[in-house]
């Protein structure tokens, strides 16, 4: 019915040695052009869920139940070739520490060009032009200079822009940002979040934003999933979840912001409404 680009239904991931389930009964849907946020703290299973979606679970974890569908195709039927065709071209992803996904001894421009030449079959000159276009799209101030630089010469925020450029280089339908701004300064985090929203509009992306910080998810996302201990405790439209949290854990996350965070100093209709309701 709705234009779903990614559907996860009753996903269960199990630890192969201990036999314990790490993720249970996880279901959500990413609708084209919308932003889904997954909130959870360490150990909540949010990253395991994302890795299952990307087909990159470590050997010790396996999907033991449920279904994942990307553009209507179940990933359980994917061959290795299907996965290669899917990653980057249908789903792009960026993670917390951009530096560790780049080769320190190859110039940044060349690393982006390599992706374009191998997966899109562009010529050397075409790949260079496209790389510079991508660098401009992610607002790297001096694309020609960055093209010649190495990873250690750039700040964390700039490296994350390079990684985002790579992630969108093949024109994916879905971009997953797993704690992509956690290691960055707050002012830089705001720039990267602005960029993600801009790219969503410009490139027609659907976004999945994973964060431990409810506030990051709140301001960016249409829909929110709250995870804890491998399960979804609450899900729904972001405004509804923030205004009328049903689960005690969601209330804890909200109250922490209201009691000890900046929200304390700003008029907040969500908190007022909840107080009126209780």
Q: Which of 93, 108, 158, 218 binds another protein (CB under 8 A)?
A: 218
Interface with another protein (CB under 8 A), residue from 196, 208, 214, 226: 214
Neighbours of 18 (CB within 10 A): 9
CB of 102 to another protein, least distance (A): 19
Phi-psi region of 237 (alpha: psi -120 to 50; beta: other; left: phi over 0): beta
Give 130's contacts (C-beta < 8 A, 6+ positions apart): 116, 120, 122, 169
Q: Does 201 contact another protein by CB under 8 A?
A: no
Closest separation between CB of residue 188 and another protein, Å? 8
| Binding letters toward another protein, positions 142-181, x by CB under 8 A | ----------------------------------------
Report the C-alpha gap between 81 and 193 in whole angstroms.
32
Size of the site for another protein (CB under 8 A): 37
Q: How far apart are CA 278 and CA 260, in angstroms?
A: 21
Is beta strand 174-178 parallel, antiparallel or unpaired with respect to 206-211? parallel
Exactly one of 60, 185, 202, 204 binds another protein (CB under 8 A); that residue is 185
Please report, as residue ranges, which positions from 39 to 68 form the binding site for another protein (by CB under 8 A): 41-42
Which one among 152, 237, 256, 273 touches another protein, defined by CB under 8 A? 256
Residues 46, 102, 253, 274: which binds another protein (CB under 8 A)? 253
| Tally of helices (H runs) and strands (E runs) in the chain | 11, 10
| DSSP alpha helix (H) spans, the chain | 46-54, 80-86, 108-120, 124-137, 143-148, 156-168, 186-203, 214-220, 238-243, 248-260, 269-277
Alpha-carbon gap, residue 239 to 241, rounded angstroms: 6
For residues 72 and 77, what is the distance between their CA atoms, to the nearest angstrom? 12
Spell out, one character per residue from 85 to 114, where the chain touches another protein: x when CB under 8 A holds, - when not: ------------------------------
Distance CA(112)–CA(132), nearest Å, equals 10
Residue 87 gets which letter from DSSP? B
Told to check if 216 binds another protein by CB under 8 A, we report yes
CA 17, CA 229: separation in Å to the nearest integer? Answer: 18
Q: Does 260 bind another protein (CB under 8 A)?
A: yes
**121 vs 260, beta carbon nearer another protein:** 260
Using the rule CB under 8 A, give the single segment among 13-21, 98-106, 166-174, 211-219 that binds another protein: 211-219
Quick one: 144 or 185, whose CB is closer to another protein? 185
119 vs 243, beta carbon nearer another protein: 243
Q: Which stretch binds another protein (CB under 8 A): 55-63, 89-97, 124-132, 266-274?
A: 266-274
Q: Which residues of this protein are in contact with another protein, per CB under 8 A?
A: 41-42, 185-191, 193-194, 212-216, 218-219, 242, 252-254, 256-270
């Amino acid at each position: 019915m709705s234009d779903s680009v990614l559907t996860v239904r009753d996903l269960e991931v199990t630890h192969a040695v201990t036999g314990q389930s790490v993720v249970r009964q996880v279901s959500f849907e990413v609708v084209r052009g919308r932003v889904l946020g997954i909130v959870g703290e360490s150990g909540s299973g949010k990253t395991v869920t994302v890795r299952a979606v990307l087909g990159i679970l470590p050997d010790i974890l396996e999907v033991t139940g449920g279904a994942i569908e990307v553009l209507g195709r179940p990933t359980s039927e994917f061959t290795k070739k299907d996965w290669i065709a899917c990653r980057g071209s249908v789903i792009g992803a960026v993670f917390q520490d951009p530096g560790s996904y780049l080769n320190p001894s190859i110039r940044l421009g060349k690393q982006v060009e390599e992706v374009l030449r191998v997966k899109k079959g562009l010529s050397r000159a075409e790949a260079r032009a496209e790389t510079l276009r991508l660098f401009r799209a992610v607002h790297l101030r001096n694309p020609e200079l960055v093209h010649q630089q190495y990873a250690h010469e750039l700040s964390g925020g700039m490296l994350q822009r390079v990684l985002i450029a790579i992630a969108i280089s093949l024109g994916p339908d879905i971009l997953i940002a797993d704690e992509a701004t956690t290691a960055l300064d707050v002012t830089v985090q705001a720039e990267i979040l602005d960029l993600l929203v801009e790219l969503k509009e410009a490139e027609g992306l659907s976004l999945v934003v994973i964060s431990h910080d409810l506030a990051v998810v709140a301001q960016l996302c249409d829909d929110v999933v709250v995870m804890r201990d491998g399960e979804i405790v609450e899900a729904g439209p972001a405004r509804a979840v923030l205004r009328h949290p049903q689960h005690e854990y969601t209330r804890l996350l909200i109250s922490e912001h209201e009691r000890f965070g900046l929200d304390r100093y700003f008029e907040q209709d969500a908190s007022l409404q909840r107080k009126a309701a209780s």
